[in-house]
Structure 1
Amino acid sequence: MSIADDLAKLEDLRARGVLTDDEFQRAKQRLIDGGPGAAAAAPGLAAVNAFRRSLTDKWLGGVCGGLARVTGLESWAWRLIFAVLFLWGGAGLLVYLLLWIFVPAE
């Protein structure tokens, strides 16, 4: 669907009285500024897509170094979190291994 199609739908909604003029202008501006997929994109989606395992800040797989880069929390804190989760039923090991397998390296 193109921006022109979306604008035509917005104009149709305004003509039928579903949207007020102010709502129409805000929706039109949001559509023009961000493109067709910008409204559906979550704010943290860019951070998730940028998540990579670190090749320089690593002990085992680089998962904690990658998490540190994305979140801003130090890698030693992530290591501590995974260690505590490991002691608490082994969940830390499971999550770490899954991230090691599924998150690509930088």
Structure 2
Amino acid sequence: MTDSEELARLGELHQRGVLSDDEFARAKARVLQGRASSPSPAPIVATINSLRRSRDDRWLGGVCGGLSQLSGLESWAIRLLFVLLLLVGGTGGFLYLLLWVLVPQEEPAPGPALSQR
């Protein structure tokens, strides 16, 4: 049942006298609060959305450093995997370029403010 149908049903019950004013207000608030709280994304989606190219651990584009931060594996192992995939039909190179283009770079760490003289 949609929220609008639920609110219409509550309104009918209130008009017929089945629900008091206080009960109607509480039921209406419960329906509206349930609609406002959207379900959080699945943990895997949140993890994938947090993928960023590394600014510190990089040789080319920071893709392996970012995957290392996300997965917990060492970045050298991820680099080795990309090289092995590169040797098998060029898949590693294509995948690396694709990730380099599509994955945003991580934000720079906030540093001390530079004073202007």
Query: Is TM (by shorter chain) over 0.5?
Result: yes
Q: Tell me the equivalent position of 1:13.
A: none
Deviation at 1:46, TM superposition (A): 1.3
Residue segments in structure 2 that go unaligned for 5+ positions in a row: 8-33, 107-117
Q: Tell me the equivalent position of 1:36.
A: 38
State percent identity of aligned pairs.
54
List 4+ stretches of structure 1 deviating above 4 A: none
Partners of 1:49 and 1:74 in 2: CA distance: 20
- Structure of larger gyration radius: 2
Q: Report how many aligned residue pairs link the two structures.
A: 77
Amino acid aligned to 2:103: V
Amino acid aligned to 1:51: L
Say yes or no: does 1:93 pair with 2:93.
yes
SS in 1 for 2:77: helix
SS in 2 for 1:55: coil
CA-based RMSD: 2.3
SS in 1 for 2:43: coil
Amino acid aligned to 2:43: P
TM-score by length of 1: 0.64
TM-score by length of 2: 0.59
